[in-house]
């Protein structure tokens, strides 16, 4: 039993602070900054930067809860483990279940986003097969080791930040102050813009899911969470300001690729191509971190017997949860080929708020001696997440229907698994 337990539960800490921060930045600065900028501009107008700052403040409550929880328990599975130990085993299970579904669908969706960009260059290639192939390639990269995946993610993250920096510096020379008129920061549209930007910030906790694979996790994971949110907020605000300065909020709102639309005003085709390349890099890094996050959550849940135990085994050579990784990757590829993802994209919105709420409730239930911040922080985090969940009910009831269906399916599986008779053969092996 000792050898099996060691083989199934020992992950090696291989990532430093830079790698850990890049994992979360890769999840935050994704397709969102290239697309959501336009959506938010449609609501907030030229005051979009206020929306971005407001969304960052709201997100910081939950980010601090994550940092506090990870300092207390730097364990693979993050919100799943916090829920299990601080709320209840069933609450933890549902949190992990929704996280896994959310990241799996998100990975499938962004792979299609990459494929549409790619097929615009190579017209003869079908987008769905490009997306499915990309899922398998990135799954293989994860299979061969976290260090290799992290190094590739570092490259993707640095490259897309360089592209965004280019957008800001080059675009600044063509920006006009008149595009900020009228500037109305005290209108309801600013709050609506913040709502959409909030979800773009949603990946700051991705690094917490791989906490056992980060060196000095008690210090580096919380730092990575706060750093990633701070870095991403700066980029979002500056990019938003330059984009408005280039073409105004109306043109941003009417475009499916607002940053390419904005830089296009310069009349420089190369600049447009560079920004478009940034969109490709952004979607690729989100896909990589989605596979990473979902597979590690599956591994953590299997290790605690909430999913089949085989998914909690590590590869003897690569020290990766290989069954969990391949299961996640093939599932993403299957979703791309077989399911209309437009019907389930809303699940990501619901799931994000679901496991954020769980994280904040977990932080509220921490003992006083384990706290880093005033208890009002997780309370504010839980309230804001709950308010956003209620807000969704009124503006997109379908999201609640799909989210409730996902919870119901997970609950049925949980009950069936708990009631299933134990495998006698495996138990005999464990006893002897």
pLDDT digits (tens, 9 = 90+) for 3-26: 444 444 578 899 999 999 999 999
The residue among 315, 331, 293 whose CA lies nearest residue 150 is: 293
Contact 299, 291 (CB under 8 A): no
Q: Which of 159, 139, 158 is nearest to 293 (CA)?
A: 139
Q: Which residue's entry shows tokens 């020379």?
A: 173
State the pLDDT at residue 425. 45
**Are 215 and 16 in contact, with CB atoms under 8 Å apart?**
yes
CB neighbour burial string for 22-37, b if at least 16 within 10 angstroms, e if fewer: bbbbbbbbbbbbbbbb
Taking only Cα atoms into account, the Rg of the chain, rounded to an integer number of angstroms, comes to 21
pLDDT tier for residue 423 given thresholds of 50, 70 and 90: low
What are the chain's domains? 2-419 (1.20.1740.10)
From residue 149, give the alpha-carbon distance in Å to each of 22, 28, 44, 211, 284: 11, 17, 37, 15, 12
The DSSP element (H or E) to which 388 belongs, if any, is helix 376-395
pTM of the model as a whole: 0.89
The whole-angstrom separation of Cα 56 and Cα 198 is 7
Average pLDDT, stretch 315-343?
Answer: 89
Cβ atoms of 143 and 318 within 8 Å: the answer is: yes
147-184 pLDDT, tens per residue? Answer: 889 999 999 999 999 999 999 999 999 999 999 988 88
Q: Is the pLDDT of residue 380 over 60?
A: yes
Among candidate residues 303, 283, 308, 298, the one with its CA nearest the CA of residue 328? 298
């Amino acid at each position: 039993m000792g050898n099996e337990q060691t083989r199934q539960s020992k992950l090696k800490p291989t990532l430093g602070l830079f790698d850990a921060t890049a994992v979360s930045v890769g999840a935050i600065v994704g397709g969102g900054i290239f697309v959501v900028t336009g959506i938010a501009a449609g609501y907030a107008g030229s005051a979009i930067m206020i929306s971005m700052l407001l969304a960052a403040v709201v997100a910081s409550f939950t980010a601090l809860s994550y940092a506090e929880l990870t300092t207390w328990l730097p364990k693979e599975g993050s919100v799943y483990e916090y829920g299990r130990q601080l709320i209840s085993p069933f609450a933890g299970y549902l949190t992990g279940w929704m996280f896994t579904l959310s990241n799996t669908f998100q990975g499938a969706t962004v792979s299609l986003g990459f494929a549409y960009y790619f097929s615009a260059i190579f017209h003869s290639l079908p987008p769905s097969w490009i997306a499915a192939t990309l899922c398998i390639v990135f799954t293989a990269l994860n299979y061969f080791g976290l260090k290799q995946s992290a190094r590739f993610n570092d490259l993707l993250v640095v490259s897309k930040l360089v592209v965004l920096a280019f957008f800001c510096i080059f675009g600044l020379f063509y920006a006009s102050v008149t595009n900020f008129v009228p500037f109305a920061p005290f209108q309801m549209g600013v709050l609506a813009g913040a709502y959409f930007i909030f979800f773009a910030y949603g990946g700051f906790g991705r690094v917490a899911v791989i906490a056992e694979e980060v060196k000095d996790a008690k210090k580096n994971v919380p730092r990575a969470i706060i750093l990633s949110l701070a870095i991403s907020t700066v980029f979002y605000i500056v990019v938003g300001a330059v984009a408005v300065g280039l073409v105004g909020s109306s043109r941003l709102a009417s475009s499916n690729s607002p940053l390419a639309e904005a830089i296009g005003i310069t009349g420089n085709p190369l600049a447009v191509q560079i920004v478009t390349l940034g969109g490709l890099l952004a979607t690729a890094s989100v896909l990589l971190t989605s596979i990473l996050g979902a597979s590690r959550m599956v591994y953590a849940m299997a290790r605690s017997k909430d999913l089949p135990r085989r998914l909690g085994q590590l590869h003897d050579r690569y020290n990766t949860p290989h069954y969990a990784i391949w299961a996640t990757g093939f599932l993403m590829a299957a979703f791309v080929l077989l399911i209309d993802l437009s019907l389930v994209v809303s699940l990501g919105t619901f799931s994000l708020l679901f496991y954020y709420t769980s994280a904040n409730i977990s932080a509220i239930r921490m003992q006083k001696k384990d706290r880093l911040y005033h208890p009002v922080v997780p309370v504010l985090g839980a309230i804001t997440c709950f308010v956003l969940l209620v807000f969704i009910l009124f503006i997109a009831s379908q999201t609640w229907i799909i989210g409730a269906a996902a919870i119901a399916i997970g609950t049925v599986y949980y009950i069936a698994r708990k009631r299933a008779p134990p495998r006698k053969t495996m138990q005999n092996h464990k006893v002897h």
